[in-house]
Structure 1
Amino acid sequence: MDATDGRLEAATVRARVATRENIARMNRSERAASALWPVPLAFGLAAILVARVTAVIDSRDALGIRGEFLIRDPDTALQLASVVASGMLVFLGIVFSTTLVAIQLAGSQYSPRAVRIFLRLRLTKVALGVFVATFVFAVAVLGEIRTKSGSDFTPTASLTVLVLLMVATVVTFLVFASGTARLLRIQYLVERIADEARPVFRDAFTRAQEVQADRPAPATATRVCTNRSPGVLDAVDVADLADAAAAAEGWIDVVAPVGGYVATGAPLAVVHGGGGGGGGDDRDGDQDVAIRRCFLLSNERTMLEDPAFGLRQLVDVAIRGLSPAVNDPTTAVQVIDRITDLLGGIADRPDPPEWYVDAAGTARVRMRGDTFDDLLRLGYVEIIRYGAGAPQVVRRLHAAFGSLSALGDARHHASIAAMGALLDAAVADAMPAPFSDLSGHPDPRGLG
């Protein structure tokens, strides 16, 4: 046991084996998932390729189907391709308009953080892709049809594919309209957010690859590695960071929280032990450059390694519903359902270890993640603050705390009980006695 700041610390620490993350690839994947153009572009390029193939088939009559199509007259085929090409532009306009309206509605009615759900919606990208592909293919078919006397030519294979694309377009549009309308309903939106958050919660609180490691000795020499480009910290490559710490013959304390905004010049990490590096001026040492490469910063918060962001989105939706301008406590109850489900999945697990070991089993990186208590406060405090005057919200919160106590590890019972006491105090201050008596009964449905 070592004495540090008057406290006794164990000689060993719980640690997790550092797993290597390709944060550059993670960044590209996240940017692609939030962009609308990659999938339509891929569909458009595929349509060009298919158009070239069908053109070759038609020119050689490789399938022996020339003249067998329902439309044999080149003029009629030309009109069909023209109508399809112009119609696809209308469909594209409808999809863009619907998407923009959905984004505006999500930002104003639910939460600006919920906009990312619509931008990442695969159905929207596929719908745009199908419409772009049909438009590109129809334009390509227009170039194949010849109507001059003596050289009439109707591309049978190309027209067949065009008709199939028309059918696919209609089906895709119906599915897109249905899916978008469904996602605009609040219960499906919050469930979508919860579905995205569940694997992040599971990975953050997993007990896999946990080991016991010797606690690093306090270092006499420390150096702060500061940030050079501002942004939100989305992920950390802990394995590469452990390698950098091993190269410095010390250990690294990550002080910038995942999900937080890191300004220029703000500290990212503190290097304990070793030498060299930043040198105290604007010139970067090799060690500091290697350390900075382990941090993925972007313009917005994501759920790559940030379970708290899932709760943040849900809580934002709940408190928006509890605002006097909206006055929709049922939305808050539906959000509490998902928050309780997420927290219930980790209530029986210990908090994530702060330490990470390298391949040799030496503790090299200390990075504090969100604990159960942190997530519990994030999930409920603001809802308690703004929902203490709504009986159904209070009853649902009492039921949530009861279920978490039943599911949770004994070490979490005190924090859950403290949250219940906070709720009681808020209700006593916000609700008259007859209603507060009614609200004191737990009810998983609120008031039905």
Structure 2
Amino acid sequence: MDRPSPSVPYRRPRMLSPLREHLRDTFWFAPVASMVLITLLWWGCSGLDTAIVETLQEAGEYEAVTDLVGIADDAKTIVTTISSAMMTFIGVVFSISLVAVQMASGQFSPRIVRIFIRSRITKAAFSVFLSTFLLSLLVLTSYESETDPRLVTTVPLVQSILTLVMVALSLLLFVAYVNSTLRLMRVGHVVDRITWEAFRVLEKTPAHPAGAGELGPASGELVYRGRAGVLRDVNTALLVAAARRHGVVLRLLPRIGDFVVPGTPILAVHGGTVPRRVASAVSVGIERTFHQDLGFGLRQLSDIALRALSPAVNDPTTAVQCLDRIVQFLAALADRPLGAVAYRDRRRGGGTVRLVQDGPEWTDLVDLGFAEIRGCAAGSPQVSRRMLAGLDDLLTRVPPERAEPLLRHRTLLVQLVERTVPEAADRAFALEPDRQGIG
């Protein structure tokens, strides 16, 4: 089995990989899991507090129990303050965050909201904030009105210490969260994060071609029966296992990112039949995701650049930053096989092809990266100069058979500038390649 170049190692798909990615695209899972965890931790600390009191009572150390009650009463004031203030704190932080995300999505692209949702710092911060609030409520239920050291059953000392530790952790995460949110409003960080996500998709994509003609005619098709939406990803490990079990080869008919409606053929079966439930391994949602979509990163970079070049924004420097990353990503694909890829049923020994999945070709990705930006580049010499430099750099890296779309875009850009820029000196300046745009 062929592998990508060493700079982009291939990661074999896992059975639970789509589930893990879908949970990362939700905002509820991490806070709920953390609250369940803190409840279990509180239950353990409560048992430890009870065991400490029982041990001291059995040893006759009633004076020590009285001291613990006094310390716990002092801590109760702090816990009560935490309980009353934490939810207000969470509300204020969340309100400010929504404003920041709204500003960022309006300035760059609505699709960057998912960066905020998938941010580990954001989820960790809100998880710890909510867990601290819940813990303070649980600790308050453990306080007793009994002061007689012989009748006291528990003193929430360990629980109070845990609450103070959670408050300290909340403060640290708040600082990290504010820093992360401020970075979200900086175009350089957003563009870099999108590029990083795009390369993660590249790591998980097999780098070998799979010819559709080798499969022969299809013996059947599976039709999509769910709600209309965008094909987000497929559980490749599950489909490979099902194809191996039934001795067939499956081919995914639509590409990742295509919009499908009920009744759309979703899987072609070659060499036999499979149950209809196999189609449940295909995930359809309301928007595209990065999980298996090789072109989604270029789509977002192009969207940010187009918004930056609109008359209302007029920010060609942001467009140049997007072009930098588009060139970077395409350079990584310069000599990499693209198009349909095949998934085999064994890691070693070659194995048998069990799943064929169509992917974007080199021309598709080049058009996605340059076509729309090129149409808006005539009025900005900074953008046209950077695009020409990027196209020239890519032409030195790609094999001859991949030069045609790059030459086409270069020719069209030159023609656009010559047609729309009246002054000869301005035309010459706009058509001079420059990696900085206007360095």
Q: Quick one: distance in 2 between partners of 1:171 and 1:241?
A: 44
Deviation per CA, 1:336-356: give whole Å up to 9, x if none.
111111111111223344556
- Taking a change above 3 Å as real, the CA distance of residues 159 and 422 of structure 1, as seen in their structure-2 partners, is same
Instruction: Give the Cα separation in 1 of the matches to 2:241 and 2:45.
Output: 54
The separation in 1 between residues aligned to 2:97 and 2:219, in whole angstroms, is: 51
**Cα distance in 1, alignment partners of residues 324 and 173 from structure 2:** 32
Mapped contact 2:14–2:237 kept (Cα < 8 A): no
- Kindly indicate whether the alpha-carbon contact (under 8 Å) linking 1:110 and 1:317 is maintained by their aligned counterparts in 2: yes
Deviates more, 1:381-390 or 1:92-101: 92-101
Against the structure 1 CA distance between its residues 222 and 139, is the aligned structure 2 distance closer, same or farther, given a 3 Å change threshold? closer
CA-to-partner distance for each residue in 1:379-418, whole Å, 9 max, x for gaps?
0111111222111111110111111112222221222111
**Distance change in 2, residues 1:337/1:205 (3 Å):** farther
Q: Deviations over 1:179-216 (max 9, x none)?
A: 11112111101111110110212443624xx78x8954
Q: Which has the higher contact order (CA 8 A, sep 6+)?
A: 1
State the SS of the aligned residue for 1:201: helix
1:407 alignment partner in structure 2:
397
Partner of 1:111: 109
Q: Superposed, which structure 2 residues align to 1:329-344 within 5 Å?
A: 329-344=316-331
Contact 1:77 1:154 in 2 (8 A): no
- Whether contact under 8 Å (2:254, 2:358) holds in the other structure is no
Question: Counterparts in 2 of 1:422-437, with a 5 A limit?
Answer: 422-433=412-423, 434-437=425-428
Change over 3 Å in CA distance of 1:272–1:47 after alignment to 2: closer
Alignment partner of 1:159 is 2:171 = no
1: CA distance between counterparts of 2:66 and 2:369? 66
The residue that corresponds to 2:194 in the other structure is 193
Q: Which amino acid aligns with 2:178?
A: A
With over 3 angstroms needed to count, the CA separation of the structure-2 counterparts of 1:205 and 1:45, relative to structure 1, is closer
Identity over aligned residues, as a percent? 32
Question: How far did 1:53 drift?
Answer: 2.7
Report the equivalent of 1:389. 379
- Provide the C-alpha distance between the structure 2 equivalents of 1:322 and 1:76, rounded to a whole number of angstroms: 61
Q: What are the within-5 Å matches in structure 2 for residues 17-416 of structure 1?
A: 25-61=16-52, 72=70, 75-146=73-144, 150=148, 155-204=156-205, 206-207=207-208, 215-216=213-214, 218-219=216-217, 223-229=220-226, 230-237=228-235, 253-271=251-269, 287=274, 289-353=276-340, 366-416=356-406
The answer on whether the counterparts of 1:72 and 1:154 sit within 8 Å (CA) in structure 2 is no
| Alignment partner, residue 420 of structure 1 | 410
Is the 1:15–1:363 Cα contact (8 Å) retained in structure 2?
no
Unaligned runs of 5+ in 2: 4-10, 57-63
Number of residue pairs matched by the alignment: 416
8 Å Cα contact 1:205/1:346 also seen in 2: no
2:432 counterpart letter in structure 1: H
2:231 is paired with a residue whose SS is strand
The one-character-per-residue Cα deviations of 1:112-171 (angstroms, maximum 9, x if unpaired) are 111111111111110011111211221222223345664688633232222222211111
SS of residue matched to 1:446: coil
- 8 Å CA contact 1:388, 1:430 repeated in 2: yes
Distance in 1, matches of 2:417 and 2:247, equals 55
Instruction: Work out the CA distance in 1 between the residues paired with 2:282 and 2:430.
Output: 47
Alpha-carbon separation, structure 1, partners of 2:260 and 2:301: 24
SS in 2 for 1:265: coil
